[in-house]
Chain A
Amino acid sequence: MELSGETEQLYNEMVQKKDHLFSQDDLQNLITNKDPRQLMSAIQQLSDHDLVKIVQKGGDILYQVISREDAAKLRAMSAEESMVFRYIEASGRDGIWTKTIRAKSNLHQSVVQRCLRSLESKMYIKAVKSVKTPTRKIYMLASLQPSIELTGGPWFTDSELDQEFIDGLLNIIWLYIVSQTFPNATGDLNDILQNQQLRDPTYRGYPNIQQIHRFVKESNVATVELSEDDVKALCEVLLYDGKVDYLHDTNAYYATLESVALQQQKDAILVD
């Protein structure tokens, strides 16, 4: 079914701003005929063709344009599937729990399950795991990436805390701090223990969070983007492990001699 000339023009104007939410006034400005009845007729036509969706925000009614491909998808779906799909789509990157879909749609569980299976087989949606609620089945659009709340941030791989990745990063950061703390360290921890030279207490060159973050970024040790807060969390863990100490006056970290001795002992055991 073809759209009328006015409606086609309105749709084309709306597609220019794809993710924008249009108010009635916005739409009025987009068409040449300023008659409100004409506008309502055009919106009705677009809605019939699933080319626009109505969104309620606060007390206002807004309109969002849907691409022709997505509209074709929706038209191919049954009424229940379409309803379920819309709820999943509305949930965005946070995803939606099956129980919530059931509560919102008032559909029977078996109907919801059937719709989800059908949509999943058509690759329109995907099931994701949430680190906060690993037992819940959460669905989101197949084209979207799950949010950080859902994945747990850089420390999680496939919704599991990547312990090896964290331990590796901790070790690399600790070695960097050691190299900045003990100037005579030539890659061998034995040198530090033999020399036992301390820095001048007034020395201000110990690395702070920004420097450590820069080092991690430049050395490309992490496959995911780490923020300064992520690096700070790692440094805090090193602090709890007693591997580094914190200098309040310069907000910097320095490695402890005790941690060097412990690491050296561990290395010696491994060599043996």
Chain B
Amino acid sequence: MSVHAKRLGVLLVRDMYGDVAGDIVQDIFWHGRRTAIQISKSTKYDLKFVLKTLLILIQVGLVQWYANYYIVPYHHALRLLRFGSMMRYAEAYGPGAEKVVRLLLTYGSLEKARIPAELEPLVTKMSADYFIVSLNRVRYTPCSHIYDELERAALQSIPLKSSISEAKRQQEASASAIAAFRDVMSRHGKAPGTGSIPLVLNHDRYLIRRRSEVLTELVSLRLGEVSASVFKALLCVLEPHLIRCRSDLPDFTKVVLPTLTDGGKSVATVQEILANMSEPDKAKLKQSIYEESPSTYKGRELLLYRVSQHLEWLKRDKLKFVESLNGNLWAVDFNDLCDHVREHIYDERVQEKYGNLALRLLRVIRAKKMVDEKMLGKIALVPSSEIRSLLTDMKLASCIELQEVPRGNERNPSSTFFLWYHNPVHAYNYLLDDVYKAMENQYATLIAERKKRSVLIAKMTREDIKANPELLQPGERKELKEYKEIEQSVLVQLGRLEKLAMIFRDF
């Protein structure tokens, strides 16, 4: 885990939940996992005070309790950054939906009864879409705890008899507990929240939406708007059946994350895709291919033919957006596709930072796996003198690595092959670290700017000023305007960086 990600997480928690929460999270971050006593000792806060704060942090989903210690999954802390964009996303459900999201983000989880009555239809709508899910006990209790509890209950239900040995009793209890555990795990999450069950926001659903957005943008860039609308429609068909973006998350995260039922369909027919397209998009479909369609195709048949043609293009593209299963069924291999997307986005960053030539060199290295400088220059048609400095710069940013292969037993540089290669995992982690560093700096700037104008910001919270901003002095108005501009630019920048982090971390 990146140091900058930790620092950013602490900054966010401190800014939103205060210094005590910040200190506790920092202590847990720095030590990996901590008991309440350890936290109390190192932070010098009273144990009761620490426990109370931990309880609140558990409620809002920042801290997890595991056996007798506490941990902070760093991506949970970094989620605080996306509160704004989550509220923006909720707007699609209708006016007032952002209020529901704000409530749930503030309190972590909320019983349905405590949500204002006028917002209930929205909650139902969002629940049906799995944007809000019910939080039952299974979801926030570690698997091992649930199993232990079930085993203990099973053991108690088997009476102590002289005819049954203790080993046999244990064995029976285990078998019974395993069956009960499987049952509990398969049932959880099926019903969207109703009644007094607490509701939480489904961050996975949000991530799936963001991923779809990024993928559609990329299709638009590579194949045009019409192909993008076809791909968007395909994703609309697939989305309700997706649980989460990545399946390689650690177990403790899986238990806590509210999830949908697994085993959903992951393919779509051309007819379904067409049905999910808007009328303006359908109108664009007809003229989107240069060649005329066969004269027999008219009306809906023509549209289906055009959708198939765009799907073929999506399949043919270098990034392999879709795959065809048996002609009419279309699927998306999200793991492969996201790997390609990460590669593509990384290439864009390299191009922005080091120029076109660096991108060419990187792609040659990636295609040839390992290549020496001379061969690199020959393939990329660039003089060796020009590429050496570029390669060194790229090496410093972990974009490429250098492998030394001695020709003989001697470790003489003159008789050694120097082969360049690209290690995507290393390169992406380095980039992610840079992104966290930039985010940390941006957020620290925002906090510093806010601190500088703390008196003015406090004044802005006054009811009379809210009602009549004209009460502010001209100098204050100017300062406020300056602050708003800084805040806006920092937030835009943070949004962009967060999107980049999501692509490399969450998708």
Contact = CB atoms under 8 A, between A and B. Distances in A.
A196 B224 contact: yes
Contacts of B287: 197
A18 B497 CA distance: 74
Contact of B291 (A163, A199, A257): A199
B312 interface: yes
A258 interface: yes
B185 interface: no
B397 interface: no
Interface in A155-202: 155, 160-161, 163, 166, 183-184, 196-201
Interface stretch (A39-47, A112-120, A233-241): A233-241
A122 B58 CA distance: 93
Interface residues of B, number: 32
Contacts of B377: 161
A256 B224 CA distance: 10
B360 A241 contact: yes
Most chain B beta-carbon neighbours within 10 Å: one of A155, A200, A234, A258: A200
B219 to A, nearest CB: 10
A203 B309 CA distance: 11
B291 A200 contact: yes
B179 interface: no
Chain B, interface SS category: helix
B354 to A, nearest CB: 14
A261 interface: yes
B342 to A, nearest CB: 16
A121 to B, nearest CB: 33
B289 A241 contact: no
Given A198-B313, A245-B318, A184 B290 contact: yes
B221 A233 contact: no
A192 to B, nearest CB: 10
A106 B226 CA distance: 76
A199 B316 CA distance: 12
B363 A198 contact: no
Given A161-B383, A240-B367, A240-B380, A198 B290 contact: yes
B356 interface: yes
B225 interface: yes
Interface string B296-320: 0000000000000110110011100
A257 B381 contact: no
Given A241-B356, A257-B224, A198 B288 contact: yes
Contact of B359 (A196, A236, A241): A241
Nearest to B218: A258
Contacts of B367: 240
Interface in A237-263: 237, 240-242, 245, 247, 256-258, 261
Nearest to A170: B381
Nearest to A238: B360
A215 B380 CA distance: 22
Interface in B346-384: 347, 356, 359-360, 363-364, 367, 377, 379-383
Nearest to A184: B290
A161 B227 CA distance: 41
Contacts of B309: 198, 200-201
A268 B65 CA distance: 57
Nearest to A245: B318
A247 to B, nearest CB: 8
Contacts of A198: 223-224, 226-227, 288-290, 309-310, 313
A69 B382 CA distance: 44
Given A166-B381, A198-B313, A257 B289 contact: no
Contacts of B381: 155, 161, 166, 233-234, 237
Contacts, number: 72
Interface residues of A, number: 27
Contacts of A236: 379
Contacts of B364: 240
A201 B307 CA distance: 12
Contacts of A197: 287-290
Contacts of A256: 222
A249 to B, nearest CB: 10
Nearest to B314: A201
B221 A196 contact: no
A176 to B, nearest CB: 18
Contacts of B347: 242
A197 to B, nearest CB: 5
Contacts of A163: 382-383
Nearest to A237: B381
Interface string B374-404: 0001011111000000000000000000000
B417 to A, nearest CB: 16
Most chain-A CB neighbours within 10 Å: which of B221, B290, B313, B367?
B290
A257 B287 CA distance: 17
Nearest to A199: B290
Contacts of A155: 381
A155 to B, nearest CB: 6
Given A199-B289, A258-B222, 13 more contacts: A161-B377, A161-B383, A183-B290, A196-B224, A196-B225, A198-B224, A198-B288, A200-B289, A200-B291, A200-B309, A201-B309, A241-B356, A257-B223
Closest 5 CB pairs of A and B: A201-B312, A196-B224, A200-B291, A240-B363, A161-B383
21 contacts: A155-B381, A161-B377, A166-B381, A184-B290, A196-B226, A197-B288, A198-B224, A198-B289, A198-B290, A199-B290, A200-B309, A201-B313, A203-B291, A233-B381, A237-B360, A237-B381, A240-B367, A242-B359, A257-B222, A258-B221, A258-B222
